[in-house]
Every structure is written in structure tokens, then in C-alpha cells.
Chains A and B, each alone.
Chain A
Amino acid sequence: MLEISNLIKRYGHDEPVLKGLDLAVEDNSVIAIVGASGAGKSTLLRCINRLVEPTSGSIKLNGTEIVNLRHRDLRRVRRKIGMVFQGFNLIDRLTVMENVLAGRLGYVSLFQAVTRRYPAADIERAFVLMERVGIAHYANKRADELSGGERQRVGVVRALMQEPEVLLADEPTASLDPRTSEQIMVLLQSLASELSLPVLINIHNVAQARSYTDRIVGLRHGTMIFDGTPGDFDKEALDTIYGGIEAPEDDTAPPPSSGEREKEAPHDAT
């Protein structure tokens, strides 16, 4: 359970990027956050794990207040918040396995981290998760030898290695081609239900948001102007969010039926 109330973020003396946001996320739900560029989506996610310092407000993860934590306590709560990035943010020169194990950095000692002597349970977990998303055979390949879709799978597995209580995904499909991005969305959706994990996804692609999430939150200029099910998210809501200025990738691609969605094959990484 993630509860955000009256969250404000202001950079310097400019107009606030987030203007008093309230949002409650139940476990086991996938939420899409949509909005034009600069609407504050990325800032919102980064406030949750404090990569960006909120100016004021409250963020509670399973009852723990996050906003005023410091140092060690902050790191402890961060390891309960997994994050998937638009640019994957992998360490290119390390192997896939090392990138995945990096998700355990909040748990292991510095000595274990530097010598790569991770507990056997971590390594087992890494293999299981990598098999789940179909990248186990790449364990000893360098991360920069993988394709975009595979790299994002590494990013997802790294986040899951943290045993997170919530998963944040910042435009996880924006750097991928349409087919691969569908696969990643399917993956996030099914992982959320398997692990009963709340997932917040920043997303530009409204069609994908409607197909793969349970709830859509629309941001515009730092305020929430839509909150509802994909069914309620109609043309009018779309126009309000994007102000009619920008026409995002709209309903040209019809949402695949639920039957199609089940066909997702984790091992088809290209």
C-alpha cells in the first residue's frame, strides 16, 4: 500500500512541478501515469524513492513515512522500492548477472558486493527470475551486448531482485520498438499479479496504458486531472490531459483481447 498526500515539488523558485498530489495505490494493481512531457510524471516517481527530494508532503509505503528518512533508513526503504528506467540504466561493462545481482546491493555487505560473493539464495533467485523473463542464458554476457528488449528485461529483473514492495517504471518502453515494448508491458503486468506487487508505470503510449493497466492517472502541469479505470479513459479525458495540443499515439492500435495477452512467451527475446 502506497499513500501519497499533498506532494509538492518545486525546483528552485520556479513554479512547482508537482502541486499537491494525492494518490493511494493498493497492492496488486498496475497503475499507468499518463501526461504530456513536463507534466511531472518522472518527478513523481523519483520523489517516491527520493532520487528527487520532495519539497513537502507525505509519502507512506506500508505505513512508513518516506519523506523525512535519511542515510541508512532511506537506503533501507529504497531497497523495498524497485525501479525500472527508460534508458535501462544498466552498467554496460559488467555482465548481465552482475547487473542483476546489483539489485541486492542494499542487502549485502560492501565486501560481498566488491568480490561478487553473493549469498547462494540471491544467486538462485537471480537465475529463477532471469529464467522467468528468458535471459538466463545471457548470465555471463556483457550487458551492452544485449538488444534493447533484453536489456530492459535485465532492468526489470534487477528491480525484482530487491524483493520490492512497490515497483516504479519510468517510461519503461519508450526506448523500445513497438513489438518489444508490448512484451515488456505484458511482462510487467503478469509479474505484478504473480508477485502481488503494486506497479506504477509512467507511460506515453495511451493505447498500452489502456490495455495493460488497471487504473489510469492523468497528470497535467503537476496536478492530477484524471483517475479512473481504463474504461473511463475516453477521448475527452485524453484531450484534457494532453490539452489537445499533442496527439499521442492514440487508439490506432486496438488493445489486444485478453486471449492474445496470455500468449506472451518469455523466451522469445530477439
Chain B
Amino acid sequence: MVEQDDLLAARIWRRHDPREQLIRYGALLATLMLVVWAVRDIDIFWPWVWDAPNQISSLGARMWPPDPGRLGEITRAMLETVHIATLATMLTVFIALPVSYIAAQNTTPNRACLWLGRFILVASRSVNTIIWALLFVAIFGPGVLAGILAIMCRSVGFIGKLMGEAIEEIDRRPVEAMEATGASKAKVIAYAIVPQVVPAFFAIVILRWDINIRESTVLGLVGAGGIGVILQGSIDTFAWQTVATILIAIIALVLIGEALTGLLRRRVM
């Protein structure tokens, strides 16, 4: 449908030569074939699909009304979630900054460091937080340490990549001026590079903190601490009304986090 709409719209608003038209139809056909293959081949028991709306609404009904009975425990777990996100974000900074420094084209000491930095960033970014958590739970056992390490391992790639880009985009001219005064490399960084990337740094860290709060709500599902532990427990014991309370608490936390980051962002800009 999207593609059809697009084509229809395109015919009205734009000119397309036959070659473009052909590419468009080709892309549409390929998409259709892909979808048909996916629908026919996927391992789904179709009667369940038709029954799904019933199942979902019945689950929803079992959740109502939310049970505030374990609110105290949930609040404590929520605080733990926030702590995991905050501590991990703070600690990440200490790793991500050196990595971004060696992974930026214009500051890296040499080729080997550049590739090492890029490798760290790619490795960190391609493994999802929850998979990192799985690994650290296996190593350090269930608990918040695994959660903090998991969030850190994923955030290094995020903060490091964006900071590296910020460093690559700086104005070269102050660097040249500082070199001309006879300043050493460290002093050039402190005077010509750091002041230029400070705003980007705060924006990136705040953004990641917001994301990390969301991510740390699920760590508990693999045993890495936070609200997820209680959520998993309540689901396992079919305490659906408690689940509903937890879900509401998560929405509240995420919204508070978003409001706070919005406020902070306006402050530093």
C-alpha cells in the first residue's frame, strides 16, 4: 500500500522517466515477493493469529484494576533502575572519551589506534544491551553489577561514536593557532578541542542517559537488576494486576526522565 500510494502520489506530483518508473515497479515487486515469502514461510500457527485479539484483551482484562499492594517494593526497584542507568552513564564517560579521541580521524595518534577505536565502537554498538547483560549475568551472577556493566558496554559505542563525530567536526583554525604558540599536544586538546566539543558532550550524555533509563527497565528480565526482576517475577506468578502497576510505573519513570532531559538540554544549550 505504501509503495502504491507513493507511486500514485509520484505520478501526480512529479515527473518520472520510464527508467525511474521501472525501478519503482521493480522495487515494489521485490517488496511484494519478500512479503509473500515471509508470510508463507514463517512458522506461525494461523488459528492463534485469529485468536490473538481475544487473548490480548483477556490479558488486559486480567490486569485491571492495577494492584498497588507492592508499591513500596516497586518504588525501590524503580530507584535501583535509575541508579543503574545513572551510574553506568557516568562511568561510561570515562571510557568513551578516550575511545572517541583515538577513533576520530583528526586526533588519533596513529592508524593502529584509529582502527582499535573504531573496532571498540562497532563491537559495542552491534551487541544489544540485553545481550551484554546476558553475558555479564553469566559471568558475575545476577545483580546490579551485571546491569551496570551491560549498560556501560552498550553506551561506550553510542557516546564514543557521537563524540568522535563531534571531534571530527571541530573548527581546525584554533588548533592551528594553539600549535603556533608552541603548545604541546595535551595543551592543544585542552584549549582548542575541549571547549569546542563541550556542548555536544553534554547533549550526547543527556540523550544517552534518557535511553539508558529505558534500557535498564528490561535488564531484570535476564536477572541484571532493576524493575525487570519484579516484572518477571510477577509475570511468572500470574500476578497481572501487579504487572499493570509496574507498567504504569515504567511509563511514569520514562516520562519523568524525558521531561528532565528536556529541561537539562535547554539548560546546557
Given A85-B176, A113-B190, A102–B182 Cβ distance below 8 Å? no
**A170 → B minimal CB distance (Å):** 10
Considering residues B173, B177, B184, which has the most beta carbons from chain A within 10 angstroms of its beta carbon? B177
B139 part of interface (Cβ distance < 8 Å): no
Chain B residue at minimal CB-CB distance from A108: B187
Contact for A89 among B176, B187, B195, CB less than 8 A = B176
**Segment 179-219 of B: residues with Cβ below 8 Å from A:** 179-184, 186-187, 190-192, 195-196, 198-199
What is the number of residues of chain B that contact chain A, defined by CB distance less than 8 Å? 21
Partner of B182, one of A77, A87, A94: A77
A102 touches B181 (CB 8 A): yes
Asked if A85 and B177 make an inter-chain contact with CB atoms under 8 angstroms apart, the answer reads yes
What is the minimal beta-carbon distance from B140 to any residue of chain A, in angstroms?
A: 36
Q: Closest Cβ of chain A: how far from B172's Cβ, in Å?
A: 9
Contact between B181 and A87 (Cβ–Cβ < 8 Å)? Answer: no
Which chain A positions have C-beta within 8 A of B176?
Answer: 51, 85, 89
Decide if A75 touches B184 in the complex (CB within 8 Å): yes
> Beta-carbon contacts of B41-73 to A below 8 Å, as 1s and 0s?
000000000000000000000000000000000
Total interface residues on A, using CB and 8 Å?
34
Q: Which of B182, B196, B198 contacts A79 (CB 8 A)?
A: B182
Whether a CB of chain B sits under 8 angstroms from the CB of A90 is yes
B174 touches A (CB below 8 Å): yes
Interface of B is mostly: helix
A102 to B187, alpha carbons, bound, how many Å?
9
Contact with B along A64-95 (1 / 0, CB 8 A): 00000000001111111111010111111110
Contact B180 A51 (CB under 8 A): yes
C-beta contact mask, B132-169 vs A, less than 8 Å → 1, else 0? 00000000000000000000000000000000000000
Q: A93-B195, A94-B191 are in contact. Are A102 and B179 (CB under 8 A)?
A: no
Asked if residues A91 and B191 are in contact (CB atoms below 8 Å), the reply is: yes
Does A266 make an interface contact (CB < 8 A)? no
Q: Would A105 and B195 count as touching, CB distance under 8 A?
A: no
A103 in the interface (beta carbon within 8 A): yes
Q: A78 vs B188: C-alpha distance in the bound complex, in angstroms?
A: 14
What residues make up the interface of B, taking CB atoms closer than 8 Å to A?
Answer: 171, 173-174, 176-184, 186-187, 190-192, 195-196, 198-199
A-B contact pairs, 29 of them (CB 8 A): A75-B184, A79-B181, A80-B182, A81-B180, A82-B181, A85-B176, A85-B177, A88-B173, A89-B173, A89-B174, A90-B177, A91-B178, A91-B195, A93-B198, A94-B195, A102-B181, A102-B183, A103-B181, A104-B181, A105-B181, A105-B191, A106-B182, A106-B183, A110-B190, A113-B187, A113-B190, A113-B191, A114-B190, A159-B181
Interface of A toward B, CB cutoff 8 Å = 49, 51, 74-83, 85, 87-94, 98, 102-106, 110, 113-114, 155, 158-159, 162
A78-B182, A105-B178 given; 7 more Cβ-contact pairs under 8 Å: A51-B180, A83-B180, A89-B176, A94-B195, A102-B181, A110-B184, A159-B181
